[in-house]
Amino acid sequence: MPPYLLGLRFDGRRVVVIGGGRVAQRRVPTLLAAGADVLLIAPEATPMLDDLAARGEITWERRAYRPGDCAGAWLVQAATDDGEVNAAVAAEAEGQGTWCVRADDAELSPAWTPASGRVGETTVGVLAGGDPRHAAGLRDVVVAGLRDGTIEARHSRRRPVGVALVGGGPGDPGLITVRGRQLLAQADVVVTDRLAPRELLDELSADVEIIDASKIPYGRSVTQERINAVLVEQAKAGRFVVRLKGGDPFVFGRGAEEVLHCAREGIPVTVVPGITSAIAVPAAVGIPVTHRGVSQEFHVVSAHVAPGDPASTVDWEGLGRAQGTLVLLMAVERMGVIADTLMRYGRSPDTPVAVIQDGTLQTQRALMATLATVVDEMTAIGVRPPAIVVVGDVVQVARQIDMLNADLGRTP
C-alpha cells in the first residue's frame, strides 16, 4: 500500500531519538527546525549533536536505550546501529500508539522519513518506496527547480504583491541570488535594464510582460522618473512587478530612489541584494580587492562625473594619497583625466591598473597596464562600457595567479 504523507507541526512537542550517529545527526536539525523538543538517548554522539546539547538545543541522556524511554513522545526515531534495539524501540512505540521510524529497516518501519527540502514557505517531501537515495535525488531536482524558477511558481494563493527590487548580479545569469530567481519566476511584469542578466528573460513565461528600461550611455535612454512611474502604475493595477537591475540595486543603481517613490505611493517593496560588479568583476579575472600585506582597504567610486567637475563629490586628492585599492565604475570615458588626477595627488605612474570589460560574460576581456599607460592601451584595443577599472597593487596578485596557473600541467 502507498504511504500517506502528513506534515507534522511539532511546536514544542516531544520527539525521542534513540542513537547518536550519522542518521541522528541528519535528522535532529530538521526536527529542531520544525519546532520539536528533542530528547536524544545514546551513550555517544557525534560532535555536532554534542554541541547542540551543550547549547541547550536538545536534551541528551548519555546512556543506552531503556524500556519506557518512548513515553510522552509524539514521534520516535530508532537510529542505533543495533537491529534488536531498534526493533525493541519500535515495539514500545507501537504499544503506546506512537509513530516510529526505524533507520535500519524500511520494510519493518511503520513510518518513513521523507527526503525533504524547503524553499521559502514551500516544503517538499519525497518518498520512493523506502529507497532513501532515490528519494533524495528526486527531492534535489524539485528543490533546485523551485529555487531557480524552472518549476512554475506563479499561481499561488500567497503570491507576492507590489514591487521586488532585484539585483541581478554582474551579468552572468548564474550569479543572481536564489531569492532573486524565485521572485523573477513569480513576476507578472519585469522592468529590466541593459546591465541585468538578459538570458534570464528567455526563461520567463510567455504571458510575462517585459518592459525595457535601459539607460544607454550617450544613446537611447528611459528617464528615472518614467521608470518610477511604470513601477507604480503596474503595481497599482494588481500585478506583481520585478525591477531587475544589474549588480546590486543599492550600489550606484538608484535603487533607493525607486524604493522611496514606491513607498510614497503606498506600494510595498521587497529588496533583494545582488552581487555587485565592483567586487565580482575583479574577482572574475583573479583580482582580490583586498589582500593581506598588500591592501587593507578598497574604495568604490562612481566616475560618471569627472574630477574637477563642480558636481563631483569624490575626494580625488584623498584617493591619490591613499594606498588602498580603487575600483572605478563608469570611468571609461573619463579615464584620462582620472589617471592624471591620481598621479598629480600622489599615486605613482607605475601603479598597476586593470580594466575588465563585460565582466563575467562570454565577451569578457581584460587588460593590465599602469596609470601612465592605461589610457593609450584602452584606446588601442577599443575598450567600451561597461567596464570596471581597478587601480592598485592587488592587480599584481592576479598576475601571480595567472603565472601559477600557466605552470599547472607543465613537465618539471
Q: Is the distance from CB of 191 to CB of 241 less than 8 angstroms?
A: yes
Length of the chain: 412
**Spatial separation of the C-alpha atoms in residues 170 and 358, rounded to whole Å:** 9
Cα–Cα distances in angstroms (integers) from residue 290 to residues 15, 226, 269, 342, 395, in the given order: 48, 39, 33, 19, 10
Q: 367 is written with which cell numbers? A: 587588460
Instruction: Tell me the residue type at 121.
Output: E
Marked catalytic residue, from 104, 172, 188, 193 = 193
Q: Taking the mean position of all CA atoms in its chain, how far away is CA 203?
A: 19
DSSP state, residue 350: T
Helix ranges (H only) for 294-334 are: 316-321
215 is annotated as an active-site residue:
yes
Instruction: Tell me the residue type at 368.
Output: M
Marked catalytic residue, from 50, 82, 215, 393 = 215
Torsions phi, psi for 243 (to 5 deg): -95, 100
Strand 59-61 to 37-41 pairing: parallel
DSSP state, residue 221: B
Q: Under the phi-then-psi rule, with left for phi > 0, alpha for psi from -120 to 50, and beta for the rest, what region is 343?
A: alpha
**Spatial separation of the C-alpha atoms in residues 375 and 390, rounded to whole Å:** 13
350 is annotated as an active-site residue:
no
Residues known to be catalytic: 193, 215
